[in-house]
Amino acid sequence: MNVQQAFNYFYLLEKQFWSKLDKDMIKYVTFDGELSPEDMLLYGEFGFTLLELKPCTLVEFRDIQVTRLYCEQVIVPALHSLEKKTLDYFIISNQVKTPESDLQGALLIYHKDHQGIIATFDHDTTVPEERMAEILDYPGHLPSSEQEVPTMKTVIYLHDRKTTQVALTTFAIQTHQTDAMISHFQRYKHACKERLDIDLSLIVQ
C-alpha cells in the first residue's frame, strides 16, 4: 500500500480493534469511561510518523496486555501493508520513566531514518519532559516546574471529517511557545492535505 492507503488501513484496523475489545477492558483503559475509544485513536500520530513529520509515535495504554494486543492486531498488519518498509516498532522492556508516567511495556512506532532514538529507551532511565517532546515532535512540553503550571496551554490538532472532528494529537505548550506551535501546525496541515488528503484544524485551550 502507498502512504495514503496505509494511513486509511491503520484507521480501519483501529476502529475494528476497539469494536472487538472486551467491554470491561475498555472501561479500564478509558479510566472508567472518562475517555472514549475514539479518544484513544492513534491513526493521526501514525500518519504523522508515516509522513516523517515526527520521528515516532508512542503507544501506551493503561494495560500492557491491551498494548500487546493492539500491536498484534493494528501495528503489525499496518506495517506489513506498507509498500515501502519505512517504519518499524520497538517494545520498551526496560524501566523507562518520565516525570509523568512509566513507559515499561509501551512501544514506539518509529521511522527507520530515526532509529537512533531507540537508544533513549533501551536501558533503565528517566527521560525529561523536554526530551520526550523533542522525540515526539511536540513544539512544547508539560510543565517542568510549579512556575510553568499557570502558563501551560493544551493544544489539539483535529481531523475535520465530513460530519465530525476527531482529535489526532494533543500536547502541552507554554505561552511563549505559541508562535512555534502555529508554525508546526501549518507544516502538519499542509503535509496532511497534500499526502493524506485530510483537513486539519486547531484548538488551543
Is 6 found in the same domain as 95? Answer: yes
**Which pLDDT score is estimated for 153?**
94
Is 59 found in the same domain as 34? Answer: yes
* Lowest mean pLDDT segment, chosen from 11-15, 127-131, 201-205: 127-131
Is 66 found in the same domain as 156? Answer: no
Q: Which of 117, 137, 157 is a domain's end point? A: 137
What's the domain count of the chain? 2
Return the higher-pLDDT residue of 40 and 6. Answer: 6
**Which pLDDT score is estimated for 141?**
83
Q: Which of 137, 153, 178 is a domain's end point? A: 137
pTM for the whole structure: 0.92
Q: Which of 137, 162, 183 is a domain's end point? A: 137
Is 154 found in the same domain as 58? Answer: no
Instruction: Evaluate if residue 149 carries a pLDDT over 90.
Output: no
* Lowest mean pLDDT segment, chosen from 26-30, 54-58, 181-185: 26-30
Is 170 found in the same domain as 124? Answer: no
In which domain, by residue range, is 155 found? 139-204
Is 188 found in the same domain as 164? Answer: yes
Is 199 found in the same domain as 159? Answer: yes
| Confidence label for 24 from pLDDT (cuts 50, 70 and 90) | confident
Is 84 found in the same domain as 160? Answer: no
Q: What percent of the chain shows pLDDT beyond 70? A: 100
**Which pLDDT score is estimated for 144?**
76
Is 64 found in the same domain as 165? Answer: no
Angle between helices 178-196 and 3-20 (to 10 degrees): 100
Return the higher-pLDDT residue of 141 and 186. Answer: 186
**Which pLDDT score is estimated for 193?**
98
Instruction: Evaluate if residue 33 carries a pLDDT over 80.
Output: no
Is 78 found in the same domain as 155? Answer: no
**Which pLDDT score is estimated for 36?**
83
Is 101 found in the same domain as 23? Answer: yes
**Which pLDDT score is estimated for 74?**
98
**Which pLDDT score is estimated for 179?**
96
Is 94 found in the same domain as 16? Answer: yes
Determine the average pLDDT of the residues in 127-151.
Answer: 89
